[in-house]
Amino acid sequence: MTQEYSTDNLPDIKNLRAPNFESLAEDQRPKVKSIGILTSGGDAPGMNATIRAVVRVAIKNGIRVFGITRGFHGLWKGEFDEITTRQVSETLQRGGTFLMTARSKTFETPEGVVKGSKMCKVFGVEALVVIGGDGSFKGARDLARIGLPVICLPGTIDNDIASTEYTIGYDTAMNTAMEAIDKLRDTASSHERCSVIEVMGRRAGYIALNVGIATGAEVVLIPEHEYDVDRDVIRTILDGRNMGKRHYIVIVAEGAGKATDIAEQIEKATGIESRPTILGHLQRGGSPTLRDRAMASLMGIHAVECISKGLLNRIIVLQHGAIADVDIEEGLEMKKTIPEIDLQRAGLLN
């Protein structure tokens, strides 16, 4: 006789697992014993602090670390050198990246990606840590798609990576720009001028917006939102003059316009002497701030924790104030922009 069984009261399968089931499952994953690390794209203060954290924590976890110089260019060319703990001493406070960075047209081709992956095999590198921006993450994703595990860390002064609330280098760049604009306001005040300052941000206006708020700029122009020079710039300056203002600060993100053109238009329309200043690569340099050093270090630790747990092809992020990680494919699909209300609020302060 066939006996029938009811499934109504079966215990949850999770309750049947051993208490250490999850850790046992993790132990079955192949352990990464050797990683490569590179910096790619534009340099950002805090990159050295990130490298330092990854190297020190990885070595303490029994993982060898190979530094790859000149980004993806050095990857496909085979510029690998093993890094020791001593080699990252005295790098925490240094700006730039001692691994150097470079653009690579060769790596942008399928053949270049394959060659980069093969070079990792030549040096016994089992996973790659990439520090950079969206473009660098796309290069890492291409490597992941052909079988090389990757971990990405957000290093860009623009703060324009959609998956994270914060990118390494952003705080330092903002402070550098703020200090420069404070000095420019002093001389603009002395000469009763309008100072038009161009800051970095081809596609993102985070530096311009927040530095504008911090320096009391009369006008902030960002690439995320269209503007009319007559209405949004000239009219604002004339209104200020009518209220007794005698000097003015206009901040423009490089992707929103050219400081030289805007200064010329202001002077022609108002008669107010207007001087353009382009801060340029000044914003990339300098010793990283406390926040950038701390975030770089904590994100670097989390990167090695992911590698040790077998959680690969991830982007290390800051979400809701906590360091976390997201899938690289999902992260690159996310979008990020500045709400118009934020720009309007900045305008209330001029």
Looking at every residue in the chain, the average pLDDT score rounds to 92
One-letter amino acid at 317 equals V
Q: What is the pLDDT of residue 27?
A: 53
- Provide the CB-side half-sphere exposure for 36 (13 A, CA): 34
Q: Which two tokens stand for residue 264?
A: 């010329």
Dump pLDDT digits (tens) for 81-109.
999 999 999 999 999 999 999 888 889 99
Instruction: List Cβ neighbours of 47 (8 Å cut-off, separation of 6 or more).
Output: 39, 96, 97, 99, 131, 155, 168, 169, 296
Looking at the chain, how many residues does it have?
350
Dump pLDDT digits (tens) for 177-196.
999 999 999 999 999 999 99
pTM summary value = 0.89
- Provide the CB-side half-sphere exposure for 255 (13 A, CA): 17
For 40-54, what is the mean pLDDT?
Answer: 98
Query: Which residues, in sequence order, are bridge partners of residue 197?
Result: 251, 277
> Rounded to the nearest 10 degrees, how much is the dihedral formed by the CA atoms of 153, 156, 159, 165?
20
Query: Which member of 43, 134, 142, 158 is catalytic?
Result: 158
Of 228-242, 291-305, 335-349, give the lowest mean pLDDT range: 335-349
Whether 325 is catalytic: no
What are the chain's domains?
13-169+288-333 (3.40.50.450), 173-284 (3.40.50.460)
